[in-house]
Amino acid sequence: MKYMNPNNEGKIITIFAIVSVVFVLLVNIVSLYTIDKLHITVESIYDHPLKVSNAALLVQKSVIKIHRDMKDIVLSSTVKERHIFIDKVDTEEKVVYKTLQSIENDILGDKGVALEKETKELFHQWKPIRDEVIRLIEENRFEEAEFITKNKGAEHVKSLEESAGLLYKYAHTKANTFQKNAHETFLSFNRVIISLSVFTVAFFILFMLYIRNRIKKYLNVIRKNERRLREFNKQYALAIEGTNDGLWDWNIAEGTIYFSPRWKEMLGYKDDELKNEFETWESRVHPDDLEDALEEVAKAHANPEYEYHTVHRLRHKNGSWVWVLDRGKTFFNEKGEAIRMVGFHTDITKEKTQAAELHEQEEIMIAQSRHAAMGEMISMIAHQWRQPISVIAMDANNIQADIELDLLDNDELVEISKDIIKQTQELSQTIDDFREFFKPNRHPDEVHIKRVIDETLAIIGKSLKNNNISLALDIDVSVKIKTFSRELMQVLINIIKNAKEAFIDKDIDKQEIKIQLISYENSIKITVCDNAGGINKEIMDEIFNPYFTTKDEKNGTGLGLYMSKTIIEKHLKGTIIAFNKNSGVCFEIKLPYDFEKKGNK
């Protein structure tokens, strides 16, 4: 880090002082210019009441003209001449109304508004008088018209002139007073600005002298801090080396990068065996992880709020792969451009290995739980085979009896043969259904939920029927998702089997299981409910725990619901919960439409 040279201190302070003074002068020049503009604006505002005073004079003038024209109407000798003067009165009347409206819009002060309203009201009151005079003249009642004009009309005109005169005097006085006060105010303001400018310049000069002395003192402090900072950096470097994390520091603007000795040691290299280049990292990232890692880097460079965080594999010197948790922070300049990125690598190979082993164990347990159900599956097969085998045996006995009694009929023999074929097909279908259940999913498939439920019921449906358990379905046949359908079947069979066993232990008149499917924007919900009495609230939170069972050792292992939860949450990326509802228990399963996309988020 570089600091100010004391020999150049005086020059720098002097330049700063000059720049400060120039800045103050510029500010004052702009202020004076602004004041001048404001003064011009005030002068224009002065014209505002002046317009009102001119308008008031125009009203006086128009009123006099109207009164004069009214006299001419009275004295006119012909009808044509009379109508000419009437038109003049109408024209001037419009002028007065228009002028009074402009006065109303521009007048200032409560007194001015009152004067304007008084003048307008007087003009309104004069209108009926003029109309009456014109009506009397048109009726040839000239003497009456002349009398009204000279008396009532003249008095009203006089009042109007006086009112308009007061309005003119008020507006004119207002304009002159406003201009005088504004001019005096701006003169005072100019004096204040000039005084303030002089004071500011003097203050800056004194302030610069003070700063000059203070900088001398701070330079010594900075030098001491610089020495302490060097010591701190050494301690920081030792602390980094002492951790189990590998530090990397990427100067994006200059295109350079630094990898700490620990970073290289994690990959089996000494500090001098790997170059500090971006390609050193990029070339060692596992091909399957590189695209995602570079995408995370791009996001961190594009968004100041984004924190770089990724898990990927790096090739070790011995050829093996090291799992690392990589996280970092990007720094940006004032233009919003990424200029630096700093972060750490943490070796998580051990954790990843343990997670893989745990996943493998879970897979084994799932397979074992599926095969553990084989005994009951065989029992179900026996139940489903019993009726077709009985029908085949009965058909065979009928054929044998007909042969012995010499009553064999070809048509009857054909019908019996068809029945035997039908029963053998049902036996074959039962074998196919159970064989499909035990066939594991190697890859996820896109399947209709209705089909999964139908295949589930093909295995366990006869068992429900034999135990007088009715089944109600509310399923949208068009809904399909991408998932491991066999594992979903295993969960559904386990839930339905548990419900069946709960019914067997209880005396319930109408035994029923309801399966409902609800679709959402990004997921589906499958609900399986029974009316077998529900689960005790005290053990509800434990039913998904491993080896927890409410059955005896002969009938339950305590792994069914635990494996169901493991399958749904870890394999299918969904959720499963249980709750009592009405007179039974409900299992609610939520699954994404595409569990692979869900898993990548």
What pLDDT, on a 0 to 100 scale, did the predictor assign at position 214? 74
User: Phi-psi bin for 534: left (phi > 0), alpha (psi -120 to 50), beta?
Assistant: left
Residue, of 287 and 239, whose pLDDT is higher: 287
Q: What is the pLDDT of residue 554?
A: 43
Look at residue 44 and tell me whether its pLDDT is greater than 60: no
**Dihedral sign (CA 129, 131, 133, 135):** negative
197-221: per-residue pLDDT in tens? 777 777 777 777 777 777 777 777 7
Average the pLDDT over each of 25-39, 395-409, 463-477 and give the range with the smallest value.
25-39
Q: What is the pLDDT of residue 237?
A: 56
**Structure confidence by residue, pLDDT tens digits, 242-256:** 556 788 889 888 888
State yes or no: pLDDT of 232 exceeds 60.
Answer: no
DSSP secondary structure, 227-269, as one string: HHHHHHHHHHHHHHHHSSEEEEEEETTTTEEEE-HHHHHTTT-
222 vs 219: CA distance, rounded Å: 5
Which residues are paired to 312 by β-bridges? 324
d(CA 355, CA 565): 18
Confidence of residue 344 (pLDDT cuts 50, 70, 90): confident
315-343: average pLDDT: 89
238 compared with 416, residue with greater pLDDT:
416
- Output the six-digit token pair for 116: 């304007």
What is the average pLDDT value for the chain, to the nearest integer?
A: 77
Residue 525 has pLDDT above 80, yes or no: yes
pLDDT in tens, 484-519: 888 888 889 889 988 988 888 787 888 999 999 999
What fold, for 362-600? Heat Shock Protein 90 (3.30.565)
Give residue 531's pLDDT band: very low, low, confident or very high (50, 70, 90). Answer: very high
Q: Give pLDDT, residue 584.
A: 92
Which of the four CATH numbers 2.20.25.240, 1.20.120.1730, 3.30.390.30, 3.40.640.10 does domain 6-218 have? 1.20.120.1730
The region of weakest confidence among 37-46, 101-110, 453-462 is 37-46
Instruction: Name the more confident of 241 and 130.
Output: 130
Q: Examine the pLDDT at 577 and tell me if it is beyond 60.
A: yes
d(C-alpha 37, C-alpha 563), whole Å: 84
- pLDDT, tens digit (0-9, with 9 covering 90-100), for 546-575: 766 665 444 445 567 887 888 888 888 899
Kindly write down the DSSP assignment for every residue of 516-538, as one continuous string. Answer: EEEE-SSEEEEEEEE-S----TT
Confidence at 182, pLDDT banded by 50, 70, 90? low
| Between 167 and 331, the higher pLDDT residue | 331
Predicted confidence at residue 3, as pLDDT, reads 44
Largest CA distance in the chain: 151
Query: Rg of the chain's alpha carbons, rounded to an integer?
Result: 51
| Choice between 378 and 151, residue whose per-residue pLDDT is larger | 151
As a whole number, mean pLDDT of residues 348-367 equals: 70
Burial category of 378 from C-beta neighbours within 10 Å (exposed 0-12, middle 13-18, buried 19 and up): exposed
Lowest mean per-residue pLDDT among 86-100, 464-478, 554-568 = 554-568
Give the DSSP H or E segment for 406.
none
Sequence ranges of the domains in the chain: 6-218, 244-347, 362-600
Looking only at the bridges linking them, the beta strands covering 321-332 and 308-315 are antiparallel
Mean pLDDT of the region 337-357: 82
List the beta bridge partners of residue 594.
482
Per-residue burial over 271-297, b if 16 or more Cβ lie within 10 Å, else e, is eeebebeeebbeebbeeebeeebeebb
Q: What pLDDT does 391 receive?
A: 66
> Which of 65-69, 557-561, 582-586 is predicted with the least confidence, judged by mean pLDDT?
557-561
pLDDT number for residue 29: 73
pLDDT of residue 579: 93
Instruction: Give the model's pLDDT for residue 50.
Output: 65
- Residue 1's pLDDT band, with cuts at 50, 70 and 90, is very low
Residue pLDDT, tens place only, 111-156: 777 877 777 777 777 778 777 878 887 778 877 877 887 787 777 7
State the SS3 of 455-487.
HHHHHHHHHHHHCCCEEEEECCCCCEEEECHHH
For 482, list phi and psi in degrees, rounded to 5: -105, 115
User: Which pLDDT belongs to residue 553?
Assistant: 46
Q: What is the mean pLDDT of residues 445-457?
A: 90
Whether residue 2 is predicted with pLDDT greater than 50 in this model: the reply is: no
DSSP per residue, 26-57: HHHHHHHHHHHHHHHHHHHHHHHHHHHHHHHH
The CA-atom distances, in angstroms, between 321 and each of 50, 260, 459, 510, 586 are 92, 19, 45, 60, 46
pLDDT at 587 over 70: yes
Buried b (16+ CB within 10 A) or exposed e, 105-134: ebbbeeebeebbebbbebbeebeebbebbb
Q: What is the pLDDT of residue 453?
A: 92
CATH of 244-347, one of 3.20.20.10, 1.20.120.450, 3.40.190.10, 3.30.450.20: 3.30.450.20
